[in-house]
Every structure is written in C-alpha cells, then in structure tokens.
Structure 1
Amino acid sequence: MSAPIGDTAWRARRRARRLHEAALQIALVVVLVTLALLIARNVEANLAARQIKSGFGFLRDPAGFNIGELLFEFTARDSYLRAFMVGMANTLRVSLAGIVLASVLGLVVGLMRLAHHPLVAWLGAAWVETSRNIPLLIQLLAIYLVITELLPEASSAIAIEGAALLSKEGLQYAVPTDGTLAWLLGGGAFVGGGAIAWRLARRKLAAGAGGVGVAAGALAAGLGWLVAGLAHGWSRPALDGFLISGGAALTPEFLALWLGLSFFTSGAIAELVRAGVLAVPIGQTHAALALGLTRGDAMATVLLPQALRLIIPPLASQYMNLIKNSSLAVIIGYPDLVSIANTSINQNGQALEVIVIIMAVYLTLNLVVALIMNLINAHVTRAPR
C-alpha cells in the first residue's frame, strides 16, 4: 500500500530542507577554512618580510631553562615541547585539585546557607559574599603573602602529629616509601570501592548515587594509601639543618593558587547548591518529613538528588572558569602553562605560535570538561524522579 500523497510531499519537503541546511553548513565551513588559510598566508608573508621566524619547528629545540616544580623529569636540554607538557601537567594538577576542593567547600557552604540555625546561615553567607566580591587576583596575592610572610621559617616549622610540617617552604607531608605500590593500591581501591558503593547507592538514591560512589572511592583510595605506608614504611619530612628533607611537598606557590582558586569558586558553587535545593518543590520536603525522615536524611535522599538536575549544567561553567582562572598562576610564580609560555616567548620570540598553543590547550581542556559534565547530566536527567 503506497503512502498518502500528503505524507510523500511532506517527506520530500523535509528532505529538501535538510539538504539545503547541510549545503549552507558546508558552504560556511568552506568559507571559514578559506579565510583562515588566507589569514595564515598573509601573517606568514608579513613575518617573513620582517625577518621574524615562524612555524612550530622551534618545539624540537632545547628549551634552555629550568622549571622549578615538576611532575616528571625535565632539564634545560629538553625540548620546548616537553616544557609545554610540564606546564600543562602543572595546570591539570592544580585545576583538578581545585575542582575537588571547591566542590566540597561549595556543597558544605551551600547547605550552611540553608541551615535553620542563624549563626550557621550567617557564616555561610559571609563565606559566599567574601569569596565572590574580592577579585581572584587579590585573593591569590593575599594567600601567598600569608604563606610566605606569616608562617614560620623551616627551622621552626609547625609540626602536625609527626606527619607533616608547615612553614614558609610550603607543606611537607609523609608519603609511603614504595610510591608505585601506593598509587596502584590507591587507584585500585578508588575504582573498586567507588563502583561497589555506586551500585549499592543507586538502588536508593538514583540521581545521587554517583556522588556517593566518588566519596566512597576517595575513602577507599585513602585506605589503600595507608595500607601501602604501613606495609613498606613512610618517608617522613624532617628538619635537616636549615632545610626540610624527606616526604613530599606542596610549594607555597601551589598552595596559594590551589586555595585561592578553591575559595573563589566555592562561593559560586555554594549559590548553585542553594538555588538548586530551593527550586525543588516544597512539597517534597514536607512529604519526606511526614515519612519520619530527619532534615539531614531528607536533604541527602530526597532534595539533593532532585536538585542535581538544576545544579550540574551551571556547575560545568564554574569548573571551566576555574581551569581558565588558573592562568593567573604566573602572578605568584607557579610554573603553569602560561608561565612557561611567557618564558618561551622571551627565549625564542615566537609569540604567535606560543599563544596558539595556549589557546588550543585551554580549549581542549574545557571541551573535555564540557563533555564529561554533559555525560553526567544526561545520566542524572535519565534517573527516575
């Protein structure tokens, strides 16, 4: 049986409209690519006329400078490409640490703002107003000044139960002697513990099960790290003359940037949490309390899982802002991507190429964050209400 004439005509019009839209998009892409090529050729010609080197071949040349804070080995004889990799690793390190701490602080402060106790609510409001109304640059400088000027010298460092030392040199803390085993146990425990907790919590919390899995995974990772230390011993920080040796260290620059980014972003996240919870119909709260749940249980099992649908989309923007704000590290001397890029420009003078690298790295990082948050949001919105 043939389709009705009206349906056939409608399908033909829809097919023609799709072809027209596709043709317009292809034409737009061709125009943009052509313009980009013309601009690139014009820039290359102008640079050549002024006898300025261009191209990315310099990435294979020796960098000729050292980097003070490393996640993997680097010397002045290594290439610019490896130097940029070190900078990107440092940016990722402080960004991921900032996202974790800002999320925890934002959740706690957001719930404080919803508290019925006036003092707790006032403290939450004071935190939010302070973090949001002081420029991030000023906060970074203030925190760095506190660490480098008000903390004691290394010779009289503040000892924390024999596990850490806090001074102007930063925070030195104990780590397992066998670092490889510690990372393997910690990573395995994080994945295993998080997966088990997620499966168990999913039956009760639905949309909030992911957060429970992450929290349980972090706790399991800490226990795995502790087991590695107990099994093979600890490398503890100790005063050696005027210096502190042993253990691992968080430099003053890293601490200032990490704490500043976390404090600044936590205020915005706290407001997202507060707004998301308040957007849940009040009847949900009344129903949970009528069933005999405490306010804490109602918040954890009823309100927050529903509020996640409203919190997660703008939360992605806050995470991306934190990554971009990490570029202020150059102000306090933390060797992130932008800081190393500035040094590279001073060394080789190829500013255009270096700026393109910076833009590409930050664009990629933010697109990855957007993709991950979109996947999380899709999972949360599919959860039963």
Structure 2
Amino acid sequence: MSGIDLSAFENFDLGAVNNPTPVADGTPKQISLTDILEDPEQPRVEFPEDQMQKMAESIKERGVKTPISVKPHPTEQGKWLINYGARRFRASIMAGKDTIPAFVDNDHDDFDQVMENKERLNHSPIELALFIQKKIKQGVKKNVIAKRLNEDPVFVSTHLALVDMPECLTKAYEAGFKSPKTLYDLRKLWESFPEEVEAWVDESLENGQDIIRSRVQVLSKNLKEPKQAVEPEKTDPEPQAQESQEQITIIDDNESFNSGNDDQAEVKKLIDQSNLKEQPVAKEEDPDKIKKPLLVVIHDGRQASLILNKKPISRGSVWIKYEDGSEQSVDCSTIEIDYLQEGS
C-alpha cells in the first residue's frame, strides 16, 4: 500500500479549531475574556453590586445564554470591543469563566448601544441623561437625538433635567424614585421654590411617601396659586328707597293689610305659600367613594398604573403605564398591587 501524503496538514493550526476567530456571520463564537475590552465611551455607567452578584451566580450555574456583541478593536490588534453586553462580560469574570459567547457587528455605534439597552429596559435614566448630554456637547441636535432614540423631543428634555440635579432630587433618585418626567417637573418647581421643594422632598422621604407625579402636581398647585385674600365683613345693605320700604312693611306686617283690599290679600297668600315650601337639600357626596380610581402597581421593580380601559392582548394579561408615559402589556402574575388613590 502506498503511503498517504499528509504534507498538506503540516502547517494546520489545531488551536484555530478550538478557538475560531469570530466573523460577522451572525453566529455566536466563544471568545476569550482576556481578548475583550469594554468601550470607554459606552453609555452604561451604573453596575449595581447586588444585581451583578446575582447575574454572576446565574452564569456560574448555567452560563451566558444571550451572546454579547463585539467589533474589532480600532487600535489593538487581535482584541475586541464590546458593543453591548458589558454586564454579562463583567459577571462572567466574576463567575470565573474563561470565554463568553459573542457575535460580531462591525456597524455598531453608541446610539445602537443605547437603543439595545433601552429596549431591554436596562439603561437607567441617569445613563440616558449623560448619553444625551454627551451627544449635545458633540454638536448633535436634540431632534436628531430624539429620532435616533426613537423618542419624541420631550424625552430628551425630561432626561436632561437629570444632569447636575440639586441635592434634594439626587436624594429622591437614589431612594428609587427615578421617573424622568416626575424629576423634570420637580426640578422646574425647585427653580422657583427651592426651599419649599427641598423641605417637601425631605419630608416625603422621612415619612416613606412616594415621590410621584400626582403628588408633585399637587405641590405645584399649592405653591403657585396665590393665597385667597380674606374677604371683608359684609355690612348691612343700604336702606331701600322709601317707597320700597313702605311696600315691604305693608306686606310683612299682618295688621297693615286692608281686608277689603283683594290685591293685598292675594299677595299675602302667595308669600305665605312660598314660605311653606321646603328648600331642596343638597345631596352630600359619599366621602368613601373615589371618582377617578387609580390603581398603582409594581412591575419588575418599577411603579406603574393599571390601564383598565385598554383591551388586553391575551387572557391573563393587562396593560400598565409607567410614570415616563410608556405602556407595556404584562402578565397579571408579574405585577404586585401597591395602592389605590384618587386620580387627577
């Protein structure tokens, strides 16, 4: 038997089989964690320790189920830059992993990073605010930013209010009240009434009261509406003309009626009948009845209101509305009733 020519395999790299170089083919590859670098310009800046620890424990037990996205590093040969997936990357290191599943996307910018995390509800309001501020400093117009984020211009303005917040608003944010619209309203109110707003926030936090938009609206109304002036005491009306007084005296004094005068007798009869009629009693409102009930719930750690007049997409689901105005259909089993209040 003639020998088999194996010369074609002399330069074959077995390591390439075990560690294939990622390519932009949409298929996740296992990449060494040491070859991956985080983007220093990435919008994410908050990595809560408790959440990272939970993610690390999950990865240690079951691995990373959703691949991260990377692109070739612009300056370091053989290295990869994270498009999105920084939390999974950090948690994998914490879990003691050597590699992480990833796919390559060369056409990925910071707007794509924000949109990826925004759609997953993973970006905090502060991170979005800092990203918007960065793009504005780079000369990007607000309407362009809103369009790239698939939001309206109000979204940009409300988030910008979170940048360099006064101390009282920072305390509210750190206490878990992170609705951009609520904080935006509160900041605008603070600009006109700083002492009153600071006192209100401190009192709310001390008493365990929620800092929500409906309460801020009440505060705004109380601060902006001028106090009602005390009305002067009413004095006795000026005396009627002599002719009118004499006519009243004739009607009110029984003895002054002339029994022979049919007109006066008829007038007295009508007055007596009128005085006997009972005045209608105003219907009292039930103090226990809520005119516009608003059911506040908790979903995925966020506060929202239950939308009762919107048809659910399936049996067992319900629509909810977050304080930032966004709506979401969720399973009833995933929400927790917080409290019921009078709607505005």
The alignment's TM-score, normalised by the length of structure 2, stands at 0.17
Name the structure with the higher helix share.
1
Considering fraction of residues, name the structure with more strand.
Answer: 2
Tell me which structure has the larger Cα radius of gyration: 2
What is the TM-score of this pair, normalised by structure 1?
0.15
| More RCO (CA 8 Å, sep 6+) | 1
